[in-house]
Chain A
Amino acid sequence: MTADRSMVAGKQEGEKPELDPGPILEVDHLIMNYRTKDGYVSAVQDVSFTIGRGESLGLVGESGCGKTSIAMSLMRLLPDNAEIQAGKIVLDGDNLLELSDEEMRRRRWNDIAMIFQGAMNSWNPVYRVGDQIREAIDLHWEEKPTVAVANARIAELFELVGLDPAMMDRYPHEFSGGMKQRAVIAMALSCDPKIIIADEPTTALDVIVQEQVLEELRSIQHEFGMSIIYISHDIAVIAEITDHLGVMYAGKLVEHGLTEDVFARPRHPYAWLLLSSTPSVTGPRLNLNPLEGEPPDLLHPPTGCRFHPRCPFATDQCAAEEPPMEEIEPGHLVACWNYEQVPEMKAESA
């Protein structure tokens, strides 16, 4: 079994020495719209970020803020009516947006895998779970392995994510929700991707299982040194396990930095409201600042800063001009004209 494993690991070693210091993924001024009957819906507006090797990034925001649209853009699995208008997605030196469909298909799962939102339904009900993982292995390993070798690898992955290897001969309906999600993680690891996108990986699970699955993901990431993008609406969940944090609002990345910086000193009013409205059981008592109003209609996004209609610190400038991403301290970027007015977290002062 270990022999098989080293074979797979060998594939990665041969391709790229681990010394390479550059970022694994670079998203550069990405703009993506959905075409609808009534006009364009601006889903991702001028978003840029990078992820280093072995690092993890969390993307948070309300539903409909463009997190999942970014994930879909990274996989190039957008619906037919989506158009990437501008920008680059550079994975390990190659711009994914310039690849042919066939080249992109080969990259998927091999370079960039995904853990899905609805683990319940992400398994095809008529095939054995093991066979569905083997499908990915057969497609992407340099040399298509025999059934025995592939199965050995799957068994190993199952053990890694805490599943009984005998389960690989079972059908999805015989798995519980948590087990399905673990199996999805095993499948994501099956081709040793450079980066994994985990889109709400634990939403469908109950709290205890959620905790376990996240813990496992983190330890696996440390063990294999791959990069992970976590996407969640739940900032508390994400902050525990990521190195970097990006806060999105209405299709824009409004704040980005090291998780502890953003968490301790949120500078964008939206991030500040989001964080201070998250109660903590263990931490000190907070005065919850409610986030008022509705997320904007992206068919007709607000002028200037997209957050200004809901922002307690908004000025005339906010309605007129779009704030640029500014580096306010090393590695901590904010897009806000009045970030200085955002108060310190009350939890800190208390």
Chain B
Amino acid sequence: MVRYLTIRLLQMFVLFLVFLTILFFLINAQPGDISAQFVGNPDIPPEAKQILRERLGLDQPLFAQYLFYIRNVLTLNLGVSFDHYPRTVADILLTALPRTLYLFGIATLLSYIVGFQTGKMVAWRRGSAAETGTMVTSIILYTVFYPWFAILMLWFFGSQLNWFPLGKFLTPAQWFDAPYTANQVFNTMLLSMFLAGAGVALVVWGTGKFVAEPVPRTRARRILFALIAISMLAFWLISPMSRYAADIAYHTVLPVTTLTLVFYAAITLLTRSSMLETLREDYIFTARAKGVPEKVIRDRHAARNAMLPVTTSFVLAIAFIIGGGIVTESIFSWPGLGLTLLNAVNVEDLPVAMGALAFIGLLALFAHLVADVLYAFLDPRIRVQG
């Protein structure tokens, strides 16, 4: 597995370089003086322009510029924003990145977990009214034009029912005398969620490895999961940040739900067909012949294998999810990478736009890597030999 992952990592790096090359040529194929695009802002004093020009390698010949560009991206030296001068592009993007990760992460996780369960149940009860209902809902959600759907969600839950705020990331009035910046609170939220997730993964792996008997293993897992949940809860109850965190969380409900619903539909459809394929396999028959109870066949034998194609499909879904994320950020005014990109494009802030694109590419590669690791973990044919 280590070898497999090393190779994948190297491949990813090469892919990222290729992606950057494409970006570079995209900028350069454009008519007009490229350096003007990067340092053309009249707000920048002439001396600063010269320094910037040199740092970005814009005074060099094309090929050297290319090398400069690659080096600059890898060292996060992405130039200065036109629109938000003198903020650097890297600063703007690093502020936006966690927000996108949050939206992207929660929507992906939720939709995969819930969608997988639904798809599993629906395939198991083939021909039932529940199946028909779920299928119709899923196909509608899956084929609905997403920006339109998001607008309708915003209108219905935000404006009509008035349950949720109309976009944005927080309620400015509440933050007037806040002792923290929004990003501090937000990053703490993200970190605590990440730690909880890592904890759960560690528990699953650890108990799987060190507790052989199934009954004490389940017990140990339950206790440790409860411990993680309690410590999370305790932290947020005690922390003075929680008031502000709650405000942010309240603002996230609608965009996250909207994004999740659409992926959820896709995952449900996918899991259902994957599960139906799996149920036809010989080993399902073996399990039945062994006298394995039906529920165990469904969960331990069929669903476990149906997971594999669903995981693979995640790689294909990344582009789809990123697209959905950008639309969501735009409609719910969620200040992440996508909105940054769109705003930059609208005000022709090229350095920010290109930087955001590079970041989004990196994000896609990272998601791809996660899917690869997960797949290697799930499929012994790769875990054991690769």
A and B touch in the complex (CB under 8 A): yes
Most chain B Cβ neighbours within 10 Å, of A105, A146, A187: A105
- Give how many B residues have a beta carbon under 8 Å from the other chain's beta carbons: 24
Q: Are B291 and A140 in contact (CB under 8 A)?
A: yes
A residues less than 8 Å from B380 (CB atoms): 125-126, 128, 171, 173
Measured in the bound complex, the distance between the Cα atoms of B293 and A147 in whole Å is 20
Seen from chain A, the residues whose Cβ lies within 8 Å of a Cβ on chain B are: 75, 77, 105-110, 113-114, 116, 118, 120-126, 128, 135-136, 139-140, 146-147, 171, 173-174, 187
A residues less than 8 Å from B283 (CB atoms): 121-125
B379 at interface by CB-CB < 8 Å: yes
Q: Are B305 and A75 in contact (CB under 8 A)?
A: no
Q: Are A109 and B304 in contact (CB under 8 A)?
A: no
Q: Which residue of B lies closest to A148 (CB)?
A: B212
Most chain A Cβ neighbours within 10 Å, of B285, B290, B305: B290
B residues less than 8 Å from A140 (CB atoms): 291
A-B contacts, 5 of them at CB < 8 A, read A109-B291, A122-B283, A125-B381, A126-B308, A171-B381
Contact of B282 among A110, A121, A147 (CB under 8 A): A121
Measured in the bound complex, the distance between the Cα atoms of B293 and A140 in whole Å is 11
A residues less than 8 Å from B288 (CB atoms): 77, 108
Most chain A Cβ neighbours within 10 Å, of B213, B291, B378: B291
Known: A110-B291, A147-B213. A121 touches B379 (CB 8 A): no
B286 at interface by CB-CB < 8 Å: yes
Q: Are B289 and A77 in contact (CB under 8 A)?
A: yes
Measured in the bound complex, the distance between the Cα atoms of B212 and A147 in whole Å is 7
* B285 CB, min distance to chain A CBs, angstroms: 7
* A311 CB, min distance to chain B CBs, angstroms: 35
- Over the window 267-304 of chain B, the binary record of Cβ atoms lying under 8 Å from chain A Cβ atoms (1 yes, 0 no) is 00000000000000111011111111100000001001
Q: Are B301 and A136 in contact (CB under 8 A)?
A: no
Contact of A77 among B285, B293, B305 (CB under 8 A): B285
Q: Which residue of A lies closest to B289 (CB)?
A: A114
Known: A171-B381, A171-B384. A107 touches B282 (CB 8 A): no
A109-B289, A135-B292 provided; 8 other pairs, C-beta below 8 A?
A: A107-B291, A116-B286, A120-B282, A122-B285, A124-B304, A125-B379, A126-B304, A136-B291
B residues less than 8 Å from A75 (CB atoms): 289
Q: Are A108 and B213 in contact (CB under 8 A)?
A: no
Q: Are B378 and A126 in contact (CB under 8 A)?
A: yes
Measured in the bound complex, the distance between the Cα atoms of B290 and A173 in whole Å is 21
* A184 CB, min distance to chain B CBs, angstroms: 8
* B298 CB, min distance to chain A CBs, angstroms: 13
A residues less than 8 Å from B378 (CB atoms): 126
Measured in the bound complex, the distance between the Cα atoms of B386 and A176 in whole Å is 18
Measured in the bound complex, the distance between the Cα atoms of B79 and A14 in whole Å is 84
Measured in the bound complex, the distance between the Cα atoms of B287 and A139 in whole Å is 11
Q: Are A108 and B291 in contact (CB under 8 A)?
A: yes
Contact of A116 among B285, B301, B385 (CB under 8 A): B285
Q: Are B287 and A124 in contact (CB under 8 A)?
A: yes
* A68 CB, min distance to chain B CBs, angstroms: 11
